C-alpha cells in the first residue's frame, strides 16, 4: 500500500514536469522554433540591458509597484481562489510560509488562465513566463491589452517569430542591440 502511494506521487510529479515540455513541444510543432532555447538564450543575452532600462524607468513605476505590494499585504488568507479571483492571466509565485525567516523563499511558480491554475510546480520565473507565453501562443489566446507590447517583444525579440513589429517594440529591439 505504501509502495503504491509512493509510485502515485512519483507519477504525479513526473506528469507535472512533463507539462512544460509538452507546451514547448506544441509550440515547436506550430512555429518550428525551440521555445526554451530561443527564449532563455535571448533572455540571458539581454538581461543586463533590460535591467538598465527598468532602473531608468523605475522612478515612474514606484507608486504602481507600491500599490501592488500594498494590495498583497492586505490579504489575510492563502486560499488559491483568493489569489486567482479576477485574474485572466498571470504567474503565481508560491512562497514558503516560515515566520522565523524575514525573507521568504519561493517554492515554485504556477500559471493562471481564466481564474484557474492550469500549471504549477514550475521551477523559476523565467520558465514560468516562457511557458505562459507558449500557452498563449499555442492556444491562440489574445494578449491582454496592458501586456500586448510585452508579449509582442517576447514574440519578436526573444523567440524570433516575426520580422515585422510595432514601432514601440522595434525601438526596444534597437536599444537592446546597442547596449
For 169, other C-beta atoms within 10 Å of its C-beta total 21
Give strand pairing partners of 89. Answer: 113
Domain assignment present for residue 89? The answer is no
The residue written with cell numbers 494578449 in the block is: 143
Number of domains in the chain: 1
Domain assignment present for residue 107? The answer is no
58-67, 95-104, 105-114: least confidently modelled range: 58-67
Asked if 50 and 157 count as a contact pair (C-beta separation under 8 A), the reply is: no
Domain assignment present for residue 91? The answer is no
Domain limits at 40? Answer: 2-79+125-178
Domain assignment present for residue 116? The answer is no
pLDDT over 80 at 166, yes or no? yes
pLDDT of residue 12: 43
Domain assignment present for residue 160? The answer is yes
Domain assignment present for residue 61? The answer is yes
Identify the three-state secondary structure at position 118: strand
Long-range contacts of 149-156 (CB under 8 A, 24+ apart): 154/39, 154/129
For 40-52, what is the mean pLDDT?
A: 79
Amino acid at each position: 500500500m505504501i509502495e503504491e502511494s509512493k509510485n502515485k506521487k512519483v507519477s504525479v510529479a513526473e506528469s507535472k514536469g512533463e507539462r512544460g515540455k509538452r507546451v514547448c513541444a506544441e509550440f515547436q510543432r506550430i512555429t518550428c522554433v525551440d521555445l526554451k532555447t530561443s527564449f532563455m538564450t535571448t533572455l540571458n543575452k539581454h538581461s543586463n540591458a533590460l535591467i538598465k532600462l527598468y532602473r531608468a524607468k523605475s522612478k515612474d513605476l514606484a507608486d504602481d509597484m507600491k500599490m501592488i505590494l500594498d494590495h498583497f499585504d492586505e490579504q489575510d488568507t492563502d486560499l488559491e481562489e483568493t489569489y486567482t479571483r479576477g485574474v485572466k492571466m498571470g504567474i503565481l509565485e508560491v512562497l514558503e510560509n516560515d515566520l522565523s525567516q524575514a525573507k521568504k523563499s519561493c517554492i515554485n511558480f504556477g500559471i493562471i488562465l481564466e481564474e484557474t491554475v492550469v500549471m504549477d510546480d514550475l521551477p523559476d520565473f523565467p520558465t514560468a513566463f516562457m511557458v505562459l507565453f507558449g500557452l498563449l501562443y499555442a492556444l491562440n489566446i489574445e494578449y491582454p491589452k496592458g501586456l500586448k507590447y510585452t508579449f509582442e517583444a517576447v514574440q519578436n525579440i526573444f523567440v524570433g517569430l516575426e520580422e515585422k513589429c510595432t514601432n514601440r517594440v522595434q525601438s526596444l529591439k534597437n536599444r537592446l542591440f546597442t547596449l
